[in-house]
Amino acid sequence: MRFVALIFLVAVFLGGMAPRPGLAEAARVSGIDAVASALEDAMLLPELLDVMAREGAAYGGDLDRQFLQGSGGASWQAEVERIYAPERLGPLFHAAFAAELDHIGVDTRPILAFLGSDLGQKIMRLELSARDALLDDGIEEGARAMAARLEIEGDGRYKTLRRFVDANHLVDMNVSSALNANVAFLKALSASGGANTALPDDEILARVWAQEGEVRGETDAWLLAFGTLAYGPLPDAELDLYLAFSETAEGVALNRALFAAYDRMFVTVSGDLGGAVGRWMVGTNL
């Protein structure tokens, strides 16, 4: 399962850029829910959740083959679709995102100003398009190859992407989210009776931690492939501005809030999947 949260920061303060009506104004309303909703709309979250639902369907097929010997069929796929339903994930994300924004106290006005601008929406569309395109294994393989080639050649674009990933701690934060989700999956699988024997927490943690190196390498490669594909059409100057804001206090705070929200959502989803797999395994063995 792709637990990569893909939080390439979507926030840049560009003086003189005219925001689309409604977004900047939302930053001045008193309710944090309204501010969070405005940010989510500007980041195209509803459309991103649709892409995640398709990713989840593909992952459900992997789980079917790995744990159910391919016997899940349409009923299993329907259960996976229920777990990944955008109308279910949206409220999960929103509650965590709004709470974290409120806790951090980040000034969202410059963020909303950019997200509502033409350039902000251009970047959002590029990120969404890349996430969608990477559902195709052939496109993902090509993007990985391109990123690797740029690294070997010492290309300036690769260096910018590398700085972006490192400056925002994207690998560390995504790895942490992935490991948390894997722990939730195994705990739910064990509690549901799907494991041969109940797994104690220390064994679950040891199994998950043993995957850390592999998860880290895969996450790093995927993020660079994503960045190569998503930001390929952006001029260097625009990408540099994007990077510059990500290193500001507002950018760091937004990144923290986004990762907190995605982490909670992924942990919930992963626990639901682990429980569902376990129930299916028990049912097929009766």
**Residue 18 belongs to a domain:** no
Specify the number of domains making up the chain. 1
Average pLDDT, integer, range 259-270: 95
Question: Which tens digit of pLDDT belongs to each residue from 221-249?
Answer: 999 999 999 999 999 999 988 888 788 78
- The C-alpha atoms of residue 208 and residue 212 are separated, in whole angstroms, by 7
CA 260 to chain centre: 11
* 16 inside domain: no
Q: What's the pLDDT score for residue 5?
A: 35
2 in any annotated domain: no
Distance, C-alpha 273 to centroid of its chain: 17
What is the percent of the chain where pLDDT is above 90?
A: 69
Domain annotation covers residue 9: no
How far apart are the C-alpha atoms of 53 and 3, rounded to whole Å?
13
In a domain, 3, yes or no: no
Which of 73-82, 106-115, 203-212 is the least confident region? Answer: 106-115
Residue 60 has pLDDT above 70, yes or no: yes
Instruction: Give residue 110's domain range.
Output: 23-285
Measured distance CA(69)–CA(63) in Å, rounded: 9
Q: What is the pLDDT of residues 117-137, one digit of tens each?
A: 888 889 889 999 999 999 999
The values of phi and psi at residue 265, to 5°, are: -65, -45
For residue 15, being part of any structural domain is answered with: no
8 A C-beta contact, residue 24 and residue 113 = yes
Would you call 138 exposed, middle or buried from its count of C-beta atoms within 10 A (0-12, 13-18, 19+)?
Answer: exposed
pLDDT in tens, 193-202: 876 668 899 9
**pLDDT at 21 > cutoff 60:** no
pLDDT score for 30: 45
In a domain, 11, yes or no: no
- Stretch 264-275: mean pLDDT, rounded? 96
Q: What's the whole-number average pLDDT of the chain?
A: 86
Instruction: Tell whether 198 is covered by a domain.
Output: yes
